[in-house]
Amino acid sequence: MLTLVWNLALASPSVVATSADEGPLKKRLNDDPADVVILYGGEQDGSMDTCGCPNNPRGSLARLVAYQHAAEALSAPVITVNAGNWLRDTIGDDNRLRSDARVANAHMVEAVQAADWSAVNVSFRDLPYLASVGQFPKGAVLANARGPGGPPPYVIAQAGDLDVAITGVTHWSKEYLQPPDFERLDPVQALESLLPELHEKADLVVVLGYALGKDAKAIAKLDIDVLVDADTHRNRYDPVVVGDTVWVRSAFETQRLGELRLRVSDGVITSAHDRAIGLDKRIPSPAPWKARARDARDDIAAAQRELFGAP
């Protein structure tokens, strides 16, 4: 199904939205010409498994990676990003991260490293664990916090002939969990300060945002090219164009993987095709990734038995 979408500025870029929910993986792929393809998701909350829905469970890291690898084998350069809440922040009676959450997060960090994504936004839900272990994975970004050993505000990803700057911002919550030696900044103001540097170094600027609420619209109005917005979006939302910014919303738990196919001319997006890829059982799960998820489940279950006793 093809949907023409709302353009707030009545100007370029032109944008269309489609869904790919039927057939095997190869039927869901698209190899139309594109200068860069951005695969986007988020909100796994420390889980590599499906949503657990009783009918047609969707999602899972294994299916995401299967699609990622298939897309990377096609003609257009691919960038894969996560907009935040990929780790778990479940707390115990002491208001600290629970031991089973820490186990889940350790597995998830290893998985993200193995998946080799271009960028992962460090949201307020992700920062407590990463700061506590003092290590941020490759591709971790966060523009609106500063602290010792923290993630960089952005990364530059190569996409064919394009240099793509990817940065991330988060709304702040659960202040009692946040590392006290990190300064928390306003997301809009942090981006306004950072953008001149990004425009000097890159052809395109992509912003990953978590739980931004009303700030999402303010950020879309900045001089950026793409906003990937994760905020418990359970329904399918068509992209919106604000000025020259393409604003897309990531599906909750990445039950559907976003695929944004861009044509670019002189550093300006001229057209965008936003695709929602259903991650259901017809997407095969590679054996090593199934094993990785199984190991994580076993270790999490063991940690929960220690916490709560045998079921």
Residue 72: predicted pLDDT: 98
- The Cβ of residue 309 has, within 10 Å, a number of other Cβ atoms equal to 7
Structure tokens at 132: 């506590």
Residue 11: predicted pLDDT: 52
Structure tokens at 155: 């990364």
Residue (of 65, 145, 157) closest to 113 by Cα position: 65
Residue 307: predicted pLDDT: 93
Residue (of 251, 252, 274, 257) closest to 63 by Cα position: 257
Residue 6: predicted pLDDT: 44
Q: How far is CA 95 from CA 92, 163, 167, 228, in A?
A: 5, 42, 30, 31
| CB environment 210-235: b (16+ within 10 A), e (fewer) | bbbeebbeebbebebbbbbbbbebee
Positions in the chain short of pLDDT 50: 1-2, 4-10
Report the phi/psi class of residue 157: left, alpha or beta, with left for phi > 0 and alpha for psi in -120 to 50: beta
Residue (of 226, 242, 276) closest to 36 by Cα position: 226
Structure tokens at 66: 């299967």
Residue 265: predicted pLDDT: 94
Residue 1: predicted pLDDT: 44
Contact between 238 and 258 (Cβ < 8 Å): no
CATH number of 3-308: 3.60.21.10
Do the bridges between strand 145-146 and strand 162-170 make them parallel or antiparallel, or are there none, so unpaired?
unpaired
Residue 15: predicted pLDDT: 95
Residue 311: predicted pLDDT: 67
Structural domain spans, the chain? 3-308
Residue 222: predicted pLDDT: 98
Residue 95: predicted pLDDT: 87
Tokens 């912003």 belong to residue: 207
Residue 55: predicted pLDDT: 80
Reduce the DSSP state of residue 28 to 3 states and report it. helix
